[in-house]
Amino acid sequence: MENGEKYGRLTLVRKLEGYGGRNVWECRCDCGNLCRVRMSSLKSGHTRSCGCLRRERQQEKFQDLTGMRFGKLTVISFAGQKRGGASLWNCRCDCGNETQQFGTNLRRGLVVSCGCVRRESGKRQYKQNIHYVNGTQLELVRSKKIWKTNKTGVKGVYQEKRTGKYIASITFQGERKILGRFLTLKEARQAREQAEKERDEKLEGMLLAQNEAKAPL
């Protein structure tokens, strides 16, 4: 190995010291840049330039996306390249928002909006799964969720500190109805379950009447 030997675009200038015994050389690239490269990388062909060769190849593959549409996105300008050579583009969505997206994701159809399409789809699905009867949301009324402040473990039943009795209640269409005060939790639970059954029967009747009113003549 002598000064002046050539590996790809790199020409050996001098061997460098202070690399812990590793065989490292200073090289001059055909483009004029100086760089430091291990001899093993030069001999294996892994390194053939200062990096300019890779950049040139990337530029050859570069596709200008300016003005092109991908779903709801219109590419307005090039935003630069990230580490690894991935091209980033400034885009304007039909909804008015601007966003940056990778060119590969745009070309593959992985991105079609600023995120508004996914949000709109989620809202539609949420609304489709919710049913109302005279302003009452059925899913909320029938929910078995118990608040953290509830110490009895039964929805609509709490224990009165002063008397120790269990009070059962139910709320429907904005009105809270006290079902009674009971000596045992079992009695309070039964009263609540009976009230829920009567409420659900009433809701089903209201829903049936509502659907009949909407049915075409």
Q: What is the DSSP string of 156-183?
A: TEEE-TTT--EEEEEEETTEEEEEEEES
Mean pLDDT of the chain: 82
- For 92-173, where are the alpha helices, taking DSSP H only? 103-107, 116-128, 138-141
pTM of the model: 0.38
Which pLDDT belongs to residue 124? 58
Question: Tens digits of per-residue pLDDT, 41-64?
Answer: 998 988 989 988 777 666 646 678
Share above pLDDT 70 across residues of the chain, in percent, rounded to a whole number: 80
98/91 Cα distance (integer angstroms): 6
Tokens 């330039």 correspond to what residue? 49
1/38 Cα distance (integer angstroms): 12
Which pLDDT belongs to residue 98? 94
Share above pLDDT 90 across residues of the chain, in percent, rounded to a whole number: 35
Which pLDDT belongs to residue 87? 82
Residue 129 vs residues 19, 123, 140: alpha-carbon distances, Å: 66, 10, 12
Helix (H) or strand (E) holding 56: helix 52-61
Q: Who contacts 215 (Cβ-Cβ below 8 Å, separation ≥6)?
A: none
Q: What is the mean pLDDT of residues 189-207?
A: 86
Handedness of CA 150, 154, 157, 163 (dihedral sign): negative
Which pLDDT belongs to residue 123? 55
Q: Who contacts 78 (Cβ-Cβ below 8 Å, separation ≥6)?
A: 64, 65, 66, 87, 88, 89, 90
The answer to whether the beta carbons of residues 5 and 12 sit under 8 Å apart is yes
Q: Report the Cα–Cα distance between both ends of the chain, in Å, rounded.
A: 95
Q: How many CA atoms lie within 13 A of 151 on its CB side?
A: 7
Question: Tens digits of per-residue pLDDT, 66-105?
Answer: 999 999 999 999 888 776 667 889 999 999 999 999 888 8
Which pLDDT belongs to residue 216? 47
The bridge status of strand 24-29 relative to strand 10-16 is antiparallel
Which pLDDT belongs to residue 27? 94
86/197 Cα distance (integer angstroms): 60
77/66 Cα distance (integer angstroms): 6
Give every strand in the sheet of 175-182, ordered side by side: 157-159, 166-172, 175-182
Ordered structural domains, the chain, with CATH: 6-58 (no CATH), 63-116 (no CATH), 132-210 (3.30.730)
**Which amino acid does the sequence have at 97?**
N
Q: What is the mean pLDDT of residues 26-54?
A: 90
